[in-house]
Amino acid sequence: MKTSLRRALALRFAATMAVGLTTASAALYWGTARVMRLQLDNALESAAFLFSAGLVNGATAPPTEPLLATDPDAYEHRVNRYVVLRSADGRVREVLPHFAADLPLDTTALRRARDGERVWVDGRWHGRGIRAVYFQLSRVGVGSDEVIQVAASLHPLHALRRDLGVALLAVVLLGTAATLVGTWHFTSSAVRPVDEITAQATRIEAGTLDQRIVAHVDTEEYEGLVAVLNRMLERLERGFAAQRRLTADVGHELRTPLTVLRGQMEVALRAERSPRDYELVLRGALDEIDRLTTLSEDLLLITRADARLLTLERVETDVAALVAGALDGLRRRTEEKDLTVERSLPKGGRPASIDPALVARLVDHLLDNAVRYTPIGGRIGVRVEPGAAADGVRLVVENSGPEIAAHDLAHVFEPFYRVDPARTRENGGGAGPGLGLAMVAAIARLHNGAAHAASGPAGTRFEIDLPTPTSP
């Protein structure tokens, strides 16, 4: 299932804001409710002391009824103080306002108040909650065991708390909605460059790989992404160019032997020939078929090796002995060209874990290349030594042939690449199909190794590293 980064970020930010606002609102609601309760208790206690003060100062008449005493509902919302002076046995002595005479009495609180305690009690009156305080009149300087009861309705407090809750809920909802809208706008602006980069990348196809992505290339946050995409396009361009060149080279290499075959057949069919002539034509055809077979096998090996479709049959092999055998097979060619072969092939060395058949082909191509391009009377050096990796092996082949230019040296391991631009077939030591060094590099990579080349006025050197795989 596809997910939208814009939607995911907006929802996450909005959810985070909702949680934060809900937590803050809950804390504010709880703290406000507690403060309001404390203020109510302080107000009740103050009203009790004010009523008591009138008695202490010698007032003989009860306090005057408040103006709102005729409207109980208005009195509840604007005054909300109900005072009852009770005798020791709980009878009503004074009441303010008059309709508070039926204020419920808590006998336990009355008894404790007579004993000198200040007692807070929650109860119900006319279907609504009330809170009351009881304390003995003697606590304010009057020698009496009478008890003052001061109460207040909790309905206004509950209404205020409800309004506060609604306001806080509105803050949470509006804050979350505003965060969602703002985050959506912000994320839209943030991902818009990605859409623009994607649009440019989409327009680049196989025929326009030379184009590059230029959108937001100077933006710090997207500079790395654009650089990676452009490097990928460069690799794709090189890969397509190499593929086109390979296709053209394969066509060129196939066309030549096929043309020779066709010419030989046409000449043979123009007139009656002797059996000897037909035999020569057939032998020439077989030679060309052998060249085609070798070319196709080499191409297949290189392609399968680069695609990791070949499975190595690793065997503990004495690479020095393998190289020595390959040199012995080239003895006639080296003697014909009067080449000096310097070898450093230690005997009894530690065997390397390689595929002997593939490495043998690698060695043959590498030595054949050295013999082919070394001038008459030149020198060839062959060494087998420990590789860069532990338990690995390195094969070094040097020749005193002509120097390879730096711009050619970077391509010598590419299929069909020749330093000689004239792509003639091998004739008296000339250039071959150009697959030998490409196969060498492919076999080395298949062994997780690498092939390197260096060239200078003194000649050319090839190094092949074949590491031994580590145990799992």
Residue 326: partners with Cβ closer than 8 Å, 6 or more residues away: 360, 363, 364, 367
Confidence check: pLDDT of 425 > 70: no
> 155-203 and 220-270 are packed helices; what angle lies between their axes, rounded to 10 degrees?
30
If you write DSSP's letter for every residue of 377-420 in order, what string do you get? T-EEEEEEEE-SSTT-EEEEEEE--PPPPHHHHTTTTSTT--SS
∠ CA 239-245-248, rounded to 5°: 145
Q: What is the pLDDT of residues 102-148, one digit of tens each?
A: 999 999 999 999 888 899 999 999 899 999 999 887 655 555 678 99
Q: Are 374 and 401 in contact (CB under 8 A)?
A: yes
User: What global pTM score does this model have?
Assistant: 0.52
Structural tokens at position 171: 């803050």
The alpha-helical segments, DSSP class H, found in 271-355 are: 275-306, 319-329, 331-336
Helix (H) or strand (E) holding 32: helix 5-56
Domains of the chain by range and CATH? 5-163 (3.30.450.20), 220-305 (1.10.287.130), 311-466 (3.30.565.10)
165 burial level (CB within 10 Å; 0-12, 13-18, 19+):
middle
Confidence check: pLDDT of 423 > 50: no
Q: Are 384 and 323 in contact (CB under 8 A)?
A: yes
Confidence check: pLDDT of 164 > 90: yes
Confidence check: pLDDT of 262 > 70: yes
Structural tokens at position 89: 């046995």
| Averaged confidence pLDDT in the chain | 83
Q: Which pLDDT value is given to residue 1?
A: 63
Confidence check: pLDDT of 269 > 60: yes
Q: What residue type is 31 in one-letter code?
A: G
Q: Which pLDDT value is given to residue 370?
A: 92
Confidence check: pLDDT of 424 > 60: no
If you write DSSP's letter for every residue of 216-242 in order, what string do you get? TTT-HHHHHHHHHHHHHHHHHHHHHHH
Q: Which residue has the tokens 């990796």?
A: 389
Q: Which pLDDT value is given to residue 418?
A: 66
Residue 5: partners with Cβ closer than 8 Å, 6 or more residues away: 187, 191
End-to-end CA distance of the chain: 37
Q: Which pLDDT value is given to residue 399?
A: 93
Helix-strand-coil split of the chain, %, nearest 5? 55, 15, 30
The secondary structure of residue 115, as a DSSP letter, is T
Q: Which pLDDT value is given to residue 342?
A: 93
Q: Which pLDDT value is given to residue 66?
A: 62
Helix (H) or strand (E) holding 460: strand 459-466
Q: What is the pLDDT of residues 336-367, one digit of tens each?
A: 999 999 999 888 777 888 889 999 999 999 99
Length of the chain: 472
Rounded-to-integer distance, Cα 12 and Cα 35, Å: 34
Q: Which pLDDT value is given to residue 16?
A: 92
Q: Which pLDDT value is given to residue 32?
A: 92
Q: What is the pLDDT of residues 33-92, one digit of tens each?
A: 999 999 999 999 888 888 777 665 554 444 556 666 778 888 888 888 999 999 988 999
Question: 402-423 burial, b if ≥16 CB within 10 A, otherwise e?
Answer: eebeeebeeebbbbbbbbeeee
Helix (H) or strand (E) holding 125: strand 119-125
Q: Which residue has the tokens 């711009």?
A: 407
388 burial level (CB within 10 Å; 0-12, 13-18, 19+):
exposed
Question: 217-229 burial, b if ≥16 CB within 10 A, otherwise e?
Answer: eeeeebeebbeeb
199 burial level (CB within 10 Å; 0-12, 13-18, 19+):
exposed
Q: Are 157 and 40 in contact (CB under 8 A)?
A: yes
Q: Which pLDDT value is given to residue 216?
A: 75
Report the percentage of the chain scoring pLDDT > 70.
89
Higher pLDDT, 207 or 451: 451
Structural tokens at position 25: 């609102």
Q: What is the pLDDT of residues 273-321, one digit of tens each?
A: 788 888 888 888 888 888 888 888 888 888 888 777 788 888 888 899 9
Q: Which pLDDT value is given to residue 309?
A: 78
In three-state secondary structure terms, 313 is coil
Rounded-to-integer distance, Cα 16 and Cα 6, Å: 15
Q: Which pLDDT value is given to residue 297?
A: 81
If you write DSSP's letter for every residue of 51-88 in order, what string do you get? HHHHHHTT--SPPPPPGGGG-HHHHHHHT--EEEEE-T
